[in-house]
Chain A
Amino acid sequence: MSRPRDKQMTIDQVVAELRDGMTIGIGGWGPRRKPMALVRAILRSDLKDLTIVSWGGADVGLLAEAGKIRRLVYAFVSLDSIPLEPLFAKARQAGTIPEVCEWDEGMFATGLRAAAQRLPFLPMRAGLGSDVLVHNEDLALVTSPYADARGDHEQLVAVPALRLDVALVHLNRADVHGNATYLGPDPYFDDLFCMAADRAYVSCEQIIDTAGLTVETPVQRVLLNRMMVAGVVETPNGAHFTTCTPDYERDERFQRHYAQAAGDDDAWAAFRERFLSGDEESYQAAVRAFHDEEEK
């Protein structure tokens, strides 16, 4: 019987597909369901000059601190329970991200939607009157060809397509072909990221067989179809320290440790040495050791 192709990859194989200067979209939302194992692998690589497109959390903070970002497209960067992402704030205040594009967070979804639909732009009200239009000189307005009830031809923001070279997303379950389910409360925009990208790579908590995706899980939770996906990686605890509900919640204790370390050069060097100097396996081992120590 013919079967669709097997797209399983390793973390390092995914990162080997990336190139300097690429535009990379990172799924999830702030400190929620981020493909952190893939982000950590980018930190270890010699990739540079990336354009990062993200509703940002620690993914953006870490990549900024590591000097990987030439251009950042974002609407916010936050850890939620810690409102300001410390490494991102530090990078902005030190001026180490060469180019920033701060958009409204809804514009962001519209830009991804335009890219997913292969349109040059989609019109939107968000941005009008705000400094988003002042600080992003490339954002243009478009005049409606239709008059409204008062006879006005409204001028709206023409949100340009956020076309991505690569999308990286993290889902709860996937099969080897790239079909994938989210089991938490919110799909975020991971399907749009994948459709906006030339190639999308999905990391997941667990790879299961296709039939298993809809056992005790409504079919509506199959967010990604294999036609949107180029590769699948199993990375248990791979969203750590962001949420991956219901597999696990945010690791608040670790996040506090991260934020505290980020505020001090020596503490940060120690954090990097302890957690980010090895591969994903050694990261997960270091996190387990961290919790064992904290619980003593």
Chain B
Amino acid sequence: MSDPTRAEVCAAAVADAFADDGEIFGSPMGIMPMLGVRLCRLTSNPDLVLSDGEALFLGGVPPLFANADVVEGWIPFRRVFDVVAYGKRHVMMGATQIDRHGNQNISAIGDFDRPARQLLGSRGAPGNTVNNRTSYWVPRHSPRVFIEQVDVVTGVGPKRAKQAGPAATKFHDIHRIVTNLCVLDVKGPDDTVRLLSVHPGVTVDDVGEASGFDIHVAGDVPETRLPSPGELMLIREVLDPKGLRHREVPEP
């Protein structure tokens, strides 16, 4: 079997973010989060609850974008909101910008009243971050994404949550930020972004250069683990035989 690619390292890192979640709704936005969550369900956390991203809970674990085989439940949008408030959910969202304090922006670039670039809108980010565990996936780690201060706060970081009071912190839980270079969290000093591991072939300096603010580094930073041969087989043969992961994260 050939060596793991960067995309496959990312998939295993996403899977690890959901490994300790137990029996909750794993809710991925985008291809890599979807791949990682399905890998997790097939390996470290068989209790994880998956959906087709539309309205059905899946009993089985189909390949990316395949039709559901066994259905185990119904999750239309109205019930997604119910589960967000219920709390048994871990969402991994995208992020056009993330700042030093782990605030996320998917709304607009520039001045909100007259944006230079209109993005999706706040979507569910404000509600997600104060209700259930939230992680982020960033396919292209760059100083334009990791920016000193986001233009619009859609996903709420821990410092902003604390400023908003107990109702905002009670269930607030930013868990992981997985990028094409590294794995981070928001547990640095003063609730800042902190480096947890660098992917094989990436240095701590590489991450620094690709970031628009100083990411907190404490001591020796380990390498992100490689996927096992079993995981590689699942990624390559079962979940993503078309190799969509490499379109999102090409080999460096």
Give chain A's interface residues, CB within 8 Å of chain B: 29, 56, 74-78, 83-84, 88-89, 92-93, 95, 102-107, 109, 124-132, 134-135, 144, 148, 150, 152, 154-156, 185-189
B1: interface (CB < 8 Å): no
How many chain B residues sit at the interface, stated as a range, is: 35 or more
Chain A hits for B115, CB < 8 A: 92-93
Chain B hits for A130, CB < 8 A: 122, 125-126, 129, 153-156, 160
A109 and B112 contact, CB distance less than 8 A: no
A93 and B118 contact, CB distance less than 8 A: yes
Nearest B residue to A243 by beta-carbon distance? B54
Chain A hits for B234, CB < 8 A: none
B156 and A102 contact, CB distance less than 8 A: no
B119 and A75 contact, CB distance less than 8 A: no
Within 8 A of A (CB), among B69-124: 76-78, 81, 84-85, 107-108, 112-124
Chain A hits for B219, CB < 8 A: none
A104 and B167 contact, CB distance less than 8 A: no
B2: interface (CB < 8 Å): no
In-complex Cβ contact of B122 among A84, A124, A132 (8 A) = A132
Nearest A residue to B104 by beta-carbon distance? A130
The binding surface of chain A is classed by DSSP as loop
Complex Cα spacing A148 to B131, Å: 16
Chain A hits for B171, CB < 8 A: 125
Residue of B115, B127, B163 most packed against chain A (CB within 10 A)? B127
A84/B120 contact (C-beta < 8 A), A186-B76, A187-B78 known = yes
11 residue pairs from A and B, CB less than 8 Å apart: A75-B122, A76-B123, A102-B122, A103-B122, A106-B81, A109-B78, A125-B127, A126-B131, A130-B153, A130-B155, A144-B167
Complex Cα spacing A268 to B85, Å: 42
Nearest A residue to B79 by beta-carbon distance? A186
Complex Cα spacing A186 to B129, Å: 25
Nearest B residue to A188 by beta-carbon distance? B77
Complex Cα spacing A188 to B152, Å: 27
Complex Cα spacing A155 to B155, Å: 19
B252: interface (CB < 8 Å): no
